[in-house]
Chain A
Amino acid sequence: MIAGIMPQAEMVHWWFASGFLMLGLLLFAEALVGPEVWRRRPWRAYLWPGLAFSMGVLMWPVMAFYTNSAIHMVAHGSWAEVLMLAGAAELGVARGKLHSQYWRLTSSLALVVSGTAFIVHEQNHWLFSRAAFLHHALGWTALVCAVFPLVLAFRPRSIAAASGFAMFFVTLAVLLYCDRDVAPIFGHLSQFAGPMHR
């Protein structure tokens, strides 16, 4: 019964892409105007951490319903957990419940774990299909961009790091919007990838 009402994986990618796009735009707005101006309305401080935490909670159904192998289960589960962790830590700092700025390192940790999970759970090579390419690209982008929240934990006023962190989520959204399981990428599609679908 559940299988009949489950949305296609592509749709789920787009929903999460929309969430990440919103996350990136919020972070970008904060980076542009600076934290002082951004937090003149106190609720704005909770916007992006709250969104990240909610997306972490929503990732659990993805883990539960779209699991077809152990490696997929571990990858989806780790995304759910690190999204919740990073969002929770940032919310704690914003609310004043957590006092150390080093809690912001959880965002960096989240990107490292997410990037590694992307790369490890994609068994095919870069140009096997569009989905394979995007998984590799997402994984490496997350790993490289983990440096931005790392810098922010030590230099919270760095505009470059804040903008880079925001742009990561925008890039992530763009890559997720492009996702399509079996389709060519830059004119390449492995003859072993199966028929194009979706």
Chain B
Amino acid sequence: MRRALVIAALAALALPGAAFAHASLRNESPSYKQELARSPGQVLLQFDQSVVALPKAIQVFTPDGKNLAGTPRAIPAQREIVASLPKLPKGPYTVRWQALSNDGHIVTGVYTFGVGVPAPPVTEAVGAQGPTRTEDIVRWLYFLSLALIVGGLGFQLLVVRGPLPPRAQRRFFWVTGIGAVGFLQVGIVSFLLRGEDMLQVPFGRFLYGDLSPLANGTRFGQTFIAMTLGFALVTAFLYLSWLTDVRALLWVAFVLGLVFASGFSLSGHSAADAGHSWLSELADWVHLTAAMLWVGGLVQLLVVVWPGAPELRRTAFLRFSRLATVLVACLLVAGTYLSILRFPNVHDLWTTGYGHVLLIKLSLVALALLWGAAHHFLAAPRLAAGAAETVVGRLSRSMLGESAVAMAVLLAAAILVDSKPPPQPAPRAPVAAHLGRR
């Protein structure tokens, strides 16, 4: 009996069977993100193998969700599916397609094109729901991982400025290593969640759905690729520094981390929304990196220095306190500029969902700043004057509280990134144009 079960299990694995065969889309017309001058007469999809046209093989949606595609039909000789279109008025359109491979597997995809207007990014295809709470949590974990690695490296290089005792050094590499590996994993999950929202199909079909429009055709996808490659290198340099005890490699990892963290700024509101400029992208990057260095530094103080290097507590705390002052200044200046940019009207703060989340974030930031100020103005002078070890020990609990608030700030930031800011007012027509019309 047992042998029969083993043989059956092996056979099931060895012969996944025809039901798993699938086709891939080779060409499409209109193509992805194409801006057409005139309405196309049909949508044509060409696959790499024979396919069967399902009843909803091709759907072409207007922005209000109306399907305009005619009945799709397959042309087996050309491995194509075609659906006719009426004359499309000017506007953006979403194509959702699915095909049954001849041997049973359904493949799915979505893309956008425009008639007389630019095609929207595929993340804004008709049917996509936008970021969910799960995506908020994943984005938060993304930020936390970034804080662990970039903040950890910054702390080691700018605050400690020398080798740690062996026990603390081991802890440092564990914490930053978890951040590096976590960043890569969370990045993949984040990309897949966005892809799932874009495709809007059940999980089994999502696994084989076409994600290339998301990877290649959106800022989100392109920066995901760049950040994944960049942080794979950061991970490698971090590891090599551990292996060879060469400290210079930490600098390489730190600089690469700072550079590739800009992926968030180059794909977020500061790079894509109305009013964006190189200055808004730079401000976003300064805001982000200052926050990461601050949160990551707190974690290093708490998890690495306090338990692993008691002899360095005073020095590290005082140096970090000085660095934090600079970081807070950067955070505030960049954050204020970005808030002004995103809130054309002050009342948007209390009348829009984005404003509500920003108010919560500002409250948490204020709490964290007060906490930090207490450390800076009350605890630091006592430490500098040689306070008793009991005071030093009590500080760890206080830093735990500050770290918890800082992480809550990152959660609010993650929700803000996934939310839509209030709309910008329409630009006024030039005076000359008004006069001309009159």
Contact = CB atoms under 8 A, between A and B. Distances in A.
Nearest to A77: B188
Contact of A192 (B102, B191, B207, B236): B102
17 contacts: A3-B216, A57-B236, A64-B225, A67-B211, A68-B211, A69-B208, A71-B207, A80-B232, A81-B184, A119-B16, A124-B18, A125-B15, A128-B21, A190-B21, A190-B103, A194-B23, A194-B49
Contacts of B419: none
B367 to A, nearest CB: 38
B166 to A, nearest CB: 11
Nearest to A128: B21
A74 B188 contact: yes
B39 interface: no
A152 interface: no
Interface of A: 2-3, 53, 57, 60-61, 63-65, 67-71, 73-74, 77, 80-81, 84, 88, 91-92, 95, 97, 119, 122-126, 128, 136, 140, 182, 190-195
Interface in B1-35: 13-18, 20-24
Interface in B182-210: 184, 188, 191-192, 195-196, 206-210
Contacts, number: 103
A125 B101 contact: no
B292 to A, nearest CB: 22
B238 to A, nearest CB: 11
Contacts of A92: 243
A68 B24 contact: yes
Contact of B206 (A64, A70, A194): A70
* Interface residues of chain B: helix, strand, loop or mixed (majority): helix
Nearest to A116: B13
A69 B101 CA distance: 16
A3 B221 CA distance: 14
Given A60-B229, A77-B188, A123-B208, A95 B243 contact: yes
Nearest to B236: A57
B17 A125 contact: yes
B327 interface: no
Contacts of A67: 211-212, 215
B21 A125 contact: yes
A48 B208 CA distance: 35
Given A125-B21, A136-B14, A194-B49, A69 B207 contact: yes
Contacts of B49: 192-194
B393 to A, nearest CB: 32
A69 B184 contact: no
Contact of A64 (B22, B101, B228): B228
A93 to B, nearest CB: 11
Contacts of B20: 123-125
B192 A70 contact: yes
Contacts of B18: 124-125
B321 to A, nearest CB: 33
